[in-house]
Structure formats: structure tokens, C-alpha cells
Structure 1
């Protein structure tokens, strides 16, 4: 199997890498965090100009027709730079729901605005009781003529405070944890009955608590089957897991390089601490963990477009498991090898560790996916064996 990038993919990698190297140094990132939105509108415009916001959409709808490999390339570069902009919730998550669940008319209306940087999306799915279970939905959607009325509360909605549209999961039937009876709705964030409370998460990204009180939406707001929307949610989340895995690899690569450089320059007992064999071994083990995660991120990109939902989810659980474990190990070792400086807000290592921790916990941490994978019979199904 050929894992080399095509000429176009290398150009994309180089273009994104140069942009972020020039305009997303650590001091610049800290300045972006201090803006009212917590991220850079100028960088968002630059992403639009570079075509990153149009990347996964079909060319006929105003996109560039990129696939999971192109998404992986961009996500890895953003992980290196610790970007703060809402690329994942808008392009990967929101864009995924549009690509797989919206009508052609909806995509023609919305995709050009997303590509131009004029519209932001956010996925509102987590609830206070749901933890990592996408099917645990208490938010209610009741029919109102041809439309629906939504009531409920969503927590930790990534970049939900700045989004123009919210992709909301709500229960149209059945019990709270039933896999059937879940609908997916595209809701105007400024609609009557929608309230948001924004906050900064541990990794510096913005998030919001979203409350829906008697929010009325029309039939055109439904994405996919209103009685069986969970397969759509699963598919989009699997694509997001692949992107998160690539972002984690970029972050691990950057913090590993930062740590190795620190070992070369920090002196103790009259010599660089990197000359001590025990610390060399730790740095080597960090590299092994990084490469294990890289191979699984590649698997994630390969499986993101798999049509067999059961096999796709099985593989994505394995991806999330290994990437989460590698991220934890690499982040912890970076902190240990740097010592106290890594725990300060003025140094990048701690920020990488926070982002890696947040990635691990997004859509289920490593242990959650290990349990689920074991319950499904392991990575290789009995039928395949």
C-alpha cells in the first residue's frame, strides 16, 4: 500500500504549514486567546482564502472535493500549531452533517457561506447525563404541524458561543437511551428560545452551554431521518475522530520536538540533561508512542469513508484507543522531562498536554473505547476471523 502523498497533497501540507509557521507562533496564539471570541478572525479569513473551509465539500457545491486524507493533512498541521479556530466543529462536524444529511438545496445555500468564512457551525449533542454515549438524548423534539418544537439543554458545545447554526440531536420518540427515535436538526443560533453561555475550556478552545426552550423549526431543519438519525451522527463522529487523531499526531510531534530541544539545551551537573541515558530512553519511548499514534491516524483516514458502519466504528474505536494512550504518555513525559517550566502558562509544553487531554476526552476517551471494543468482540470480528 502506498502511503506517500500526492503532489497536490504535499502542496496542501506545505501551504498550511507555512501559513501557521508564519502566523501562529506561541506568542501569537496567546494573543488570539485574549480576543473576545478566543480565536483569530484574521486567521479564519486566511483559512478561507487558502481553501481550508471548502476542503471536504463537492466542487459542484462550492467546495474543493477533498477527502479524509486531505482532512488528515490539515488537522495534523493545526495540531502542530495548537490552533484555536472552529475548524473542526464547522468544517469537519458541521460540514459532515451537511454532506451526509442535508438536501442538495441546503448545501447549495450553506456551503458557499461556510467556504467564504461567513458561517460557523457547532454540534450540540452532549448532555449532563450522557457522558460519551451519543444515543443518550433527553432533549425533546415534538411535532408541531409540519415542523418541530425543541426543548432541552446541551453542554460543552465546541465553539457553540460563536456559531451561526447549531446541529442539535433531539429525541423524537422512544426512551432516553434508545438508539431509535433520535433526530438531527439544524437550528439558527439566534432563534427565539435559544440561549448560550460561552466559556473557555481547559485547552484554550471556546465552548458553550446551550439551552433550548420552545425553539420552533421548520421541516427543512431536519437532517436525515428524524426517527433514525443516530447512524448519521455515528458517521460524522467517526470522521471527526479521524481528524482528531491526526490533530493529536501533529501536537505530539511538536511537543516531542520541543522536549528533545529542551534536553539538548538544559544543563545540570555541568552537562546537558539530554546526555543522561535514562532521559534519552524516555525521549525514545515518546517517539515510539508517537509513531504508534501516527499509524493509527492513517488507519483512521483510510476508514473514515468506509460504508460498512459496524466495521468503520470498530476500527475508529481502535484508533481512538491507541491515539488516546499515546497522547497521554507523550504529554506526561513532556511535562516530566521539562520539569516545573512545563506547568506555566508562559511555556508551550503544558498547552500541548492540555490539548492532547481534551482530544482524548472528545467523543470518548481511550478507556471508553477499549471497553466498547472489547464488548464488540475485539478489533477483528469473529466472522472475519
Structure 2
């Protein structure tokens, strides 16, 4: 793993790509964005070659990768539509509240107009005749002024009623539009969930074939060793190309016992536990239901977001000062290489990718290329 010092010069180059100065023109901003996209493609291409060369030698592994990438895409679409449903329902709630307020306002305005008409009629019964017979010009002027203001108040009241009525009609149209969007989104969501079930069934069949290849203890051990090597190389390649170490990222050394957990759940395997042969766990395996939010434990930048044999869908964050955090076995990845994330931001959904039978999250912290126990960094619970 590269040290912070050896990564300094590409970090300066990368900073020029991803930061936008106050005086940058739109053309410069677009050019920087294009360069970042090209760099992301380059990273994905090199990582894809690595994955295929060391993890795609057998058809079962390649089939599992394709199955889980399809699940990733479908789960991301479902997550997006669920968020859209939540937003639409929230909008409908607000519109419903506005409608009730407008209806109350409309009723009060109608009552106010009725009271004004009634008051005008009562006043007119005694004073219209007096106005015609009374020769006192001061009294005439007083009554004319009174009726002028009364009529003006009625006109304003009727205009207010018309405005409120139009607002009610607009509100009703918006509610109809949101309900239609809600129905369409729910229909798409149902279809996506059906496709997801089929993809999960196909993955189950692929896993059965893969399990036949790993019946021997030696096969499993060899596979775990290769998986670990591929993971390390993939991260090194990403760091070498991206060199994402913004100045504002200060690592995790000062955050011991302060980091939030990436997901809540029982720790099934802890750091250093026996795994297979002489191999031990380099991180912790946390029990969690499929599709739950996985959150970044600290501010960072995505340096890897792809599928790796043995780990499934993996996202790796660079936190600066040679600290990395890794989140594996995801159902879906929600961030791309090069994106900046904040502590607590959702970066993936928990799952069982990488050939796991049970859903959960594999979590690692690495410092200077070596896996370290995550427990001392996480808050006690």
C-alpha cells in the first residue's frame, strides 16, 4: 500500500480535477468533470482486468459476479423508487394540510361577505330614505363615504374568495398529479421487486454450483487467499490512479471510540477470529437484514466501488493519513469512485453478495495497508 508521502504528487493532480475555484468558468468546471469521469473509467477498466484475470477463471465465479451485479442494479433502482414514494407521500401530506387550511379560509371569507351584505342591508333600511330627504350636505357626504367603503370591502372580500377558490383548484390538481405519480412509481417498484426475486433465485442456483467446486478444504483455503490478494491489489490500483487525499481529510487516529457504527447489528465475527486454516478475519462481520442502509463512519472519498470475488459488492473510502474503511457483501452500491462523502452518509445497502448465505456487512479499517481492529475506533454500545 502506498504511503501518504508517495501519493502526494498525484493527490495534487487530483485536487485540480475535483476542486472548483471561485473564479472558475463553466467551461473549466465542465472540463474538470469530464477529466474525473475519464479517470473513473480508467480505474474501472484496470480493476475489471484484475478481477477477470484472478477471480474470473471459473465459470461459476463469473456467473456469480453477473448475478450479483444485476441484483445491485435492481436494488439501487428499488431504493431510488422507495425514496421517491416517500417524497411523494410527504408532498401529498403537505398538500392535504394546505387544502384543509384553504377550505377553512374559504368558509370564513364567505361568512365575512355574508355578514357585510347583511350589515349593508340593515343600515340601508333606515338611511337610504333619509339620504334622499335630508338636505344636510354633511350627512349626505357621511353616508356616501360609508357606502363607498362598504362596497369596497365587499369587492375585496369577493376577490379574496375567488383567489382562495383558485388556490383550492390548483391544490386539487397537484394532488391528482402526485397520486398518479405515486401509482406509477408503485407499479414500477412492484415490477422491480419481482425481477429482483428472479435474480436472487438465479443467484441461489449459481451458489449451489460454486459450492460443489469448494467441497475440499484446500479449495476453500486457496480461494480465500486469492480473494484477499485481489482485494489488496484492487485498492492499491485505485489509490495509485485516484490518489484521493484532500487536505481536509485528517485520518482516523484522533477518532478512536468516536466513529459511528456503519450499521447496527450483532457482530458475528470479530477481528482476529479464526477463519480457515491459518487465515483470520481482517475485519468484522456484522449481522444485518438485506437492504438496510450502510453509512460512512467518517468523511472520505470513494476509491473503490465494484464487485470482488469473496467480498461481493465492495465500497472503499479513503479518509486521509493512509486510513481506509471497507464495506463488503453489499446488496447495492450507491456511490461512484471519486465521490466525496460525509460521516453518516448512506453509501450502500447491506446484502449477501460475494457468495454469502446470510445477509450482513463486512467492515474493515486499514492503516498503511494493514488491516487493524475496527473495535477501538467505534463507539461503545
Give the TM-score normalised by structure 1: 0.26
More helix by share: 2
Larger radius of gyration: 2
Greater RCO (CA < 8 Å, at least 6 residues apart) = 2
Give the TM-score normalised by structure 2: 0.26
